[in-house]
Amino acid sequence: MLLRSLTVICYILCSAWVFGQQVAIEGVLVDKASGKPLNYIHVVLKSSDHKLLTFKETNENGAFSLTTLKGVDGAYLEINHLGYHKKIIPLTDLRTKKTIELEQKAVLLDDVEVKSRPKIRRIGDTLSYDVSTFAKDEDRSIGEVLKRMPGIEVGENGAIKYQGKSISKFYIDGDDLLDDRYSIGTKTIPHKMVKDIQVLTNHEHMKVLKNKRFTDNVAINLVIKDDAKLKLTGQAKLGAGMPKQYDAEVNTILFNKKYKVLNVLQGNNIGNDLTGDFTGFNQSSVFAQMGYSPINNLLAVGTVGGPPVAKSNYFMNNTVALNANNLLNIKNGLQLKSNVQLLYDKNNITFQGKTSYFSEEGDFVFDENQYTETAEWLAAFRLSLNKNMEKRYINNTFSFEYEKEDRRATIGSNGNTIFGNLNHKIRGFSNQLEWVPQLKNGDIVQINWYMNYANKPQTLAFSPGLFPDIFASGISYEQTLQHVEVPTIFTNGSIGYRLPKGKIKQYYTLGAMMEDQKLKSGIDLNKEGIVKATDVDSTENNMHWNRSSFSVNADYEWSINRLATKLSLPLSWQHTSYIDDGFSIDNSQNNLLFNPSFSARLQVHQEDELSFSYQRGNTFGTIENVYRGLLIRNYRTLSTNSGGINENRSNNFGLNYKLGKTIKLLFFNFGLGYNQSISSTMLSNVINEESTQTQLIAQENEVKSYSASAGIDKYIFALSSTVKIAASWSLSDYNQLFNVEILPFQNTSYTLRPNMEFKIWKQLNLSYTGQLSWVSTKQKGGSDELNRNTFNASHQMSLPVNLFSSVHLRLSARNTYSHQPGLKDFNYVFFDTFLRYRHKKLKTDFELNLTNLANVKKFETYYISANMQTHNQYELRGRMAVLKVVFNFK
């Protein structure tokens, strides 16, 4: 018995000694860029003399656990996996369980590295296009190359989309020089300066929030060549032509690590509209997220827009503009940036047309012609101080904007001649502060404050006086003057606390918003040289509007393997009041709003993504919905309101699928959408032989919209060609209140947009861009006489050919066609020619541009909307020839 007891004791002591020598190593492998766990990767433990001790494969959560009884002095972990940089970690650093980050490395795809084929590679969420292999000899700017890249779409206004989604940022070597107004960059930056175009999907601008919150943003980054960073470069362009044409530009460009400069001074009268360079492509969506709805254009001289042809064909302009963008990286990540834009423009437009309103009781027709001259000054200044670090983000942006516009028009309406003038000034400034620090415990605080002041006083005058039956007891008088202004103060602030760790990431926000507005308006009459206010009641507004809200919001993000989701639960209390003593109005209302949203993204395969989104909206109208006094909106439209604040309840669903095959240069996207919108008010249109009157009345109105879209981009190697085809379908059910009768309508539209470019023979290419649309408008349950079907098509074809190494010729033709049963078809063809000779030694280009060779000077078009039809005729520029010299300096 004693011997057995001693044996057991010895066995226990020996076991304790043995297990005391056992070493256990635990950890988790994650992707450094995305933070996602890496499963089924071998982790190897090696001795100091590089011999294998043990190894283990990570499980589905990226975790591993190694044990060994062998000596581990000087031992280390080695992780070597295809697609990631090799990682070696001394064992002394792994005494406790820790997270190990692996950094992705580029794996060149041999299938797309073949000579003469475009190069494209994917590294995680970044897709990189090699610019040189997509560029053509005739290309000058990076925007021309972007249009050719599969998966990327560039609109006529310069807006960029990737697989159907608008980009949120446009970087130049990682710096956001141009903010949201990046079209000047795509038009000016030479493509030869750019090495790669990077598309950043699931992009996060703030480094402190990278991989710490759900995002589906897309950004573009231009990677500048090293030799292009060395010194200042630029161009000087000088062009002149017939009849009395000029086109001039000077630009300076510098993109290095410390300084970034893009300054452009330009002027022309050839129809090149420069106001688009002042446009922020995402500005309206940013304002909408904050609950801000600027009130701008309440008044207008005329009632017509531009024709569906290139603006350069009808824009009779004389424009000078300065666009100066400068960025300085100071030190320690601090960045100072200024954006200054100035523009003076004088332009005119001539049109004549007929607008018909159809009803079962009869038709009303307005036969009109109009000549308008506009002179405007625009100025915008933005100054930003920014620091974007991994531990903190801070940004303060101050903006000032000014606009002055004088518009004069001679209008003919049903045989009467009217002279109109519209004058306005915009003066406004804003400041936005963002501060996002990371705390010592890893949690993150987010503080955001935005403040804006704006005013746009407008005066609209018509001679002779309008609507004498309403304003002057039927007696003619000299002039009608409508004055209106809406000074606005808006501020929005929030503070949030983010918990980025754990299986469910959390973010909690407290916010407050205040909007204060005054709508002041009045109508004056000029009778025999004496100007005084009209004696008619209800023609003045002096409304004071105030809206404030307090909100709490909880965001929850959960991800597992390839699935990422986000749930937002915003709850807000909103108070609105509006007062106008002239109408004995003193109303206020309180609303409790709950507008949840949910989004999910499933990574089906490495380059396949399926996403879903839902958002419930409950929004209320603005001061524009509740003023009572009569406004003269244009020479034949009067407007007022009789209902209360419009309430709109909406449900939005979206389902999207994106496919990318990098090796095959194939991109595909498909989307479905549904929107239901229920409003508490409805716009009433009352039409008679002399005027149109609009009034917002209390009447529930439901609108349902369905949509589908698809796009496919494919690079065909055999033809050295990119083929892009996009298609869309939409259906809308809505009501229109016309002459005190509710008319239900259904609109159905189909659109097809093909875009392709083929290499025909050696230096000869063929490019084609088209848009075909079918629109059907049907009155539900009513007369077939109001049903309308139209077909519109536009085609643009060009033959670029490089005659010699320094000579480039491009022949272009554009066709616009419109068909509607029972009406005359419209069919127009425009021919252009472009010739360039490049003198390499002088670094100078000589260009000859001949436009509208067929000398088309009139353009007719139809526009159909529910029970309205317009037939317009515009004056075009006619034939032009411009000879330009372009000096390139370095």
CATH number at 27 reads 2.60.40.10
In tens, the pLDDT along 771-806 reads 999 998 887 776 666 677 889 999 999 988 888 778
Do 492 and 531 sit in the same domain of this protein?
yes
The CA distance from 649 to 651, in Å, is 7
- pLDDT reported for residue 89: 84
From residue 382, alpha-carbon distances to 327, 429, 460 in Å are 12, 10, 31
Report in angstroms the alpha-carbon separations of 620 from 283, 291, 648, 724, 733: 20, 10, 6, 40, 22
Q: What pLDDT is attached to residue 6?
A: 45
Q: How many CA atoms lie within 13 A of 772 on its CB side?
A: 6
Confidence at residue 91, expressed as pLDDT on a 0 to 100 scale: 75
Query: Cβ distance 148 to 141 under 8 Å?
Result: no
**Of the candidates 748, 680, 637, the residue with the CA atom closest to the CA atom of residue 357:** 637
Handedness of CA 310, 313, 314, 317 (dihedral sign): positive
Which bin fits 468, alpha (ψ -120 to 50), beta or left (φ > 0)?
alpha
Residue 5 lies inside a defined structural domain of this protein: no
Query: What is this structure's pTM?
Result: 0.81
- The pLDDT assigned to 10 comes to 46
Domain count, the chain: 3
Q: What SS3 string covers 582-596?
A: HHCEEEEEEEEEECC
Residue among 597, 557, 591, 598 at smallest CA distance from 573: 591
Residue 502 counted as domain residue? yes
> Is residue 12 in a domain?
no
Residue 506 lies in a domain: yes
Buried b (16+ CB within 10 A) or exposed e, 195-223: bbbbbbbbbbbbebbeebbbbbebbbbbb
The reply to whether 706 and 853 lie within a common domain is yes
- Examine residue 40 and state whether it is found in any structural domain, yes or no: yes
Residue found by looking up tokens 């000014």 in the block: 402
- Within this chain, do residues 34 and 147 fall inside the same structural domain, yes or no? no
Q: What pLDDT score does 695 carry?
A: 74
Domain end marker among 81, 102, 123: 102
Please classify residue 530 by burial: count the beta carbons closer than 10 Å to its beta carbon, then call 0-12 exposed, 13-18 middle and 19+ buried.
exposed
Assign residue 133 the CATH number of its domain. Answer: 2.170.130.10
The pLDDT value recorded for residue 696 is 78
Residue 3 lies in a domain: no
Domain match, 513 and 655 both: yes
Q: Tens of pLDDT along 536-586?
A: 888 999 999 999 999 999 999 998 888 999 999 999 999 999 999 999 999
Contact (Cβ atoms closer than 8 angstroms) between residue 43 and residue 64 = yes
CA dihedral 208, 213, 216, 220 (to 10 degrees): 10
Residue 211 · residue 200 · CB < 8 Å: no
List, in order, residues 6 or more apart from 871 with CB less than 8 Å away.
353, 354, 355, 356, 860, 861, 862
- Same structural domain for residues 481 and 555? yes
From the list 612, 508, 504, 510, the residue with the least C-alpha distance to 568 is 508
User: 670 vs 126, 236, 324, 707, CA distance in Å?
Assistant: 21, 44, 39, 11
Cα 311–186–321 angle (5° rounding)? 60
Per DSSP bridges, beta strands 692-716 and 637-641 are parallel
The SS3 of residue 538 is coil
Q: Which of 102, 132, 160 is the last residue of a domain?
A: 102
Domain assignment of residue 681, given as a range: 241-889
Q: Are residues 342 and 415 in the same domain?
A: yes
End-to-end CA distance of the chain: 99
Rg (CA), the chain: 32
> Domain check: are 211 and 295 in the same one?
no
Q: 512: Cβ–Cβ under 8 A, 6 or more apart, which residues?
A: 492, 493, 494, 548, 549, 550, 551
Which among 580, 609, 595 is positioned nearest to 671, based on CA atoms? 609
Question: Token pair of 630, please?
Answer: 């009569």
Q: What percent of the chain has pLDDT over 70?
A: 92
- Residue that terminates a domain, selected from 240, 271, 297: 240
Do 232 and 252 have their domain in common? no
* Same domain membership, residue 780 and residue 727: yes
Asked, for residue 445, whether it belongs to a domain, the answer is yes
Residues 234, 247, single domain; the answer is: no
Both 236 and 279 in one domain: the answer is no
**Residue at 9 is within a domain:** no
CB atoms within 10 A of CB 94: 19
Claim to verify: residue 336 and residue 446 sit in the same structural domain:
yes
Residue 105 pLDDT? 74
Amino acid occupying residue 247: D
SS3 of residue 4 by DSSP: helix
Low-confidence ranges of the chain (pLDDT < 50): 1-20, 109-116
Give the CATH number for residue 560. Answer: 2.40.170
